[in-house]
Amino acid sequence: MKYLVTGAAGFIGSHLARQLLSEGKDVAAVDCFRDYYEPELKRANIADLLKNSSFKLFEEDLSGKDRSWLDRAVDSSEEIIIYHLAAQAGVRKSWGEEFLQYTTDNIIATQNLLEWSMKRGNIKNFIYASSSSVYGRVTDLPMVEDRTIPMPDSPYGVTKLAAENLVRLYTRNHGLPSVSLRFFTVYGPGQRPDMAFSIFIKAIREERPLRIFGDGSQTRDFTYVGDVVRGLRLSEECTDGRVMNLGGGNTLPLLEAIGVLEEAVGKKAELDFLPVQPGDVRDTFASTELLSKTTGWKPSTPLLEGLRCQIFETENRQN
């Protein structure tokens, strides 16, 4: 069995690859090191993994026309599980001229990988990393897969929903085994520097105000990265094209979450309230009943514990 992990140098991808290697799996890792944030941070994510002979890195762009390198990454006789985590992330940057990069990296790259998978065959599962951003503004919470109609409120969410639908189409029309998981506000060690907790931790340490877009009463379903990796692994046997939420059970108003962060850091924060940004939804809350019923998965990491792990890793990197 071979594991193909796209976006392997990113936040979640590097954690997943590390877990697979710890289980003795062979990992073909793909990343094109987009400069959405510093590529050096991504290379630091996988520096230890490159020392493992079972980890092979392919610095390639999935959105390109040449896909012959994929045949070199995975032997034709090997059965494959694909974890497709590569994407252009971020709600706020997806507006305007930047949208072209989002369509390229989130839609075209996904279809290219699906086409290759269909033609290659011997795919045990195609596991797609979707996002809670596909739901948009929802007042009837929690968000339930077969009840809450996806209506994205950002161009980013539109591209993630489009790619999710592509995955489903290839399953329905070509029999490609697949499952899609909608992630909810993932945090933990190695979190992208543009994400809220990373920004907040840095600001508190540097005694700068935390920029809060809105009044702080908006809620988020915070999900620890280790719980996400466990959900990904448990979903490998789900191959019927279904879509499942993966949320952490830590749904809190932002101001309460900041209070937990202050406890973890051991320092109070100064807050600077700013207008709500386009595309930012007010609330997210995942029903994870389907994932739990299907795989036995449940979130296991309380927010305070997860934040302490993130802070510890951040301090170690700086030292």
Active site (catalytic) residues: 156
Contact in structure between 203 and 269 (CB atoms under 8 Å): yes
For residues 317 and 319, what is the distance between their CA atoms, to the nearest angstrom?
Answer: 5
Contact in structure between 46 and 17 (CB atoms under 8 Å): yes
For the chain, the maximum distance between any two Cα atoms, rounded to a whole number of angstroms, is 58
Contacts by 45-53, CB closer than 8 A, 24 or more apart: 45/9, 45/10, 45/11, 45/14, 45/190, 46/8, 46/9, 46/14, 46/17, 48/18, 49/14, 49/17, 49/18, 49/21, 52/21
Residue 178 tokens read as 């697949």
Residue 193 tokens read as 């520097």
Contact in structure between 213 and 197 (CB atoms under 8 Å): no
122: Cα within 13 Å, side-chain hemisphere: 13
- Scored b (16 or more CB within 10 A) or e, 254-276 reads beebbebbbebbeeebeeeeeee
Residue 217 tokens read as 């009463």
What is the DSSP pairing of strand 123-131 with strand 186-187? unpaired
Q: Looking at the DSSP assignment, which residues form a beta bridge with residue 136?
A: 151
